[in-house]
Chains A and B, each alone.
Chain A
């Protein structure tokens, strides 16, 4: 079977790495184009365009739930018209960082932080990015710490936050393990693996 070309739409670089990894593991897609301008505002503004273009080529959209109550609320709020069946719209609860932290064993090995410090109920972490930064403070690998942690109070994340976490996602992150602790990830994986493209 030849692979299905798939367009990616995402908020940030970490999401992109995660999507590339998910798509690769599914094994039935090839990535066509990727769309992002940083932040959810871009996706919210352009979702109509992606939905329209999904007629010709499937789109995989990933966004963070953040502080919204539940995923269906967010989808209904963003997408005024009916979602095309080629629009794979997935939401990470609450942020994509939670999906990384859900692979406790992997993240612990990558950073050298003891597994005992991780929370098991990943989806209930209110601010996964802050949680991740808190955890990395315990990391003993200097280079990882310098990359991920903000230099000072005037920066939100470290100078190579995306690059370093991207390395984790591409080379160490185990989706099967992470799925066990994250329902939103599990749904995304199932959606991708059972997806069939319909051109109409």
Chain B
């Protein structure tokens, strides 16, 4: 399944947003335009739906409703999220899920539901607050997503949300694990536990994933000849062999890998792992432009057989120069006074015309996102 439409109200820097989403979605926007905040909606739904999660925890982990609600929110204080789910490659809406969240005006100021609705197709099957919610307000501090005995009729939706995978691998967390102690973040967004994840996959699957990654790395990383999973004193490692005149030499473990190699391994792993919604934050980081220019096609190839939606955020013109990217796959975020405006690039007349005139998505879209007075930057200091 994929999320085919996203509707938001008062979510972080989006006062109002409604966009259609394709199987592959590329989010672009200036710094602080809300790319990560948009991805966070899907992580938020995951945090509600996953075991040990829930509405209260998902909100608290984000610093409370005040940190979630848009600064531009006025009359309507609800934070509202609605997603439509469709089958990969189809326009038909199979499910709709919507919640409105509000904060208790006094007391513990807990977040509670203004409403929660689930539609199967067009049929409304959950419509809260129900009578029981009215007699017991505490019920509204939990969604039906997080309760097995209430979500039987839409378990498919729950599973879809909870399996969402987000990756923004920070190589330093892998290279210097002892320097970053403290509690792990929910869902391991920065890949600190990446090696454990690799270790936990069944051996045959792991071997097959790593063999594919090895083939890719041989092409992308000069001198790399072999990639292997090892364990040492019970700790998992990835070991690479580099071409060296002395056989047996040239072996390196992940703490010696370059940032780019590590990020590429993480990316290629995540693309192969599972069939759930995958969120990739700036996959171009640390990678050579020639590799980045292949990413969009690579994502397409790996998502297709798994019927898997992939949403990425990017600043990269190398990535967007791919003429195989359709304008309806690109969501453009443009900050304005009353919150960020999101539009699908195929709805922007000027961009469409430029593409017709032979320009690439990158050259037609990215210049729009430049801060207006950026040429003053060197003058101001």
A-side interface residues toward B, CB under 8 Å? 7, 13, 16-17, 20, 31, 33-37, 42, 45-46, 48-53, 55-57, 160, 162-163, 166-167, 170
Contacts and interface: CB of A to CB of B under 8 A. Distances in A.
Q: Which of B355, B364, B379 has the most CB of A within 10 A?
A: B379
Interface in B307-363: 317, 349-351, 353-359, 363
Interface stretch (B82-90, B107-115, B292-300, B365-373): B365-373
A52 B350 CA distance: 8
User: Lowest 4 CB-CB distances: which A-B pairs, in order?
Assistant: A49-B357, A163-B378, A52-B357, A49-B359
A7 B368 CA distance: 10
A160 B356 contact: no
B353 A49 contact: yes
Contacts, number: 61
Contact of B350 (A16, A36, A57): A57
Contacts of B379: 163, 166-167, 170
Nearest to B374: A34
A13 to B, nearest CB: 6
12 contacts: A34-B367, A49-B354, A49-B355, A49-B356, A51-B357, A52-B354, A53-B354, A55-B353, A56-B350, A162-B378, A166-B375, A170-B379
A40 B69 CA distance: 46
A46 B358 CA distance: 7
Judged by DSSP, the binding face of B is helix
A49 B358 contact: yes
Q: Which of A17, A46, A167 has the most CB of B within 10 A?
A: A46
A42 B350 CA distance: 18
A35 B351 CA distance: 12
A53 B350 contact: yes
A33 B350 CA distance: 11
Contact of A48 (B350, B357, B370, B372): B357
A50 B378 CA distance: 28
Contacts of A17: 375
Interface residues of B, number: 20
Contact of B353 (A20, A33, A53, A170): A53
A35 B358 contact: no
B378 A52 contact: no
Given A33-B368, A57-B350, A163-B379, A48 B363 contact: no
Given A49-B358, A170-B379, A37 B353 contact: no
Contacts of A48: 357-359
Contacts of A50: 354, 357
A33 B370 contact: yes
A49 B355 CA distance: 6
A34 B370 contact: yes
Contacts of B356: 49, 52
Contacts of A13: 375
A6 B70 CA distance: 32
A52 B363 CA distance: 14
Contacts of A160: 378
A110 to B, nearest CB: 14
Given A7-B350, A48-B358, 6 more contacts: A33-B368, A48-B357, A49-B358, A56-B349, A57-B350, A163-B379
A12 B92 CA distance: 48
B367 A46 contact: no
A13 B375 CA distance: 7
Contacts of B355: 49
Contacts of B317: 37
B16 to A, nearest CB: 23
Q: Which of B355, B357, B358 has the most CB of A within 10 A?
A: B357
A111 B317 CA distance: 38
B350 to A, nearest CB: 5
B378 A166 contact: yes
A34 B357 CA distance: 17
A13 B379 CA distance: 12
B360 to A, nearest CB: 8
A80 to B, nearest CB: 10
Given A163-B378, A167-B379, A49 B363 contact: yes
Interface in B154-178: none
Contact of A46 (B349, B357, B372): B357
B378 A37 contact: no
A53 B356 CA distance: 9
Contacts of A55: 353
A8 to B, nearest CB: 9
B304 to A, nearest CB: 29
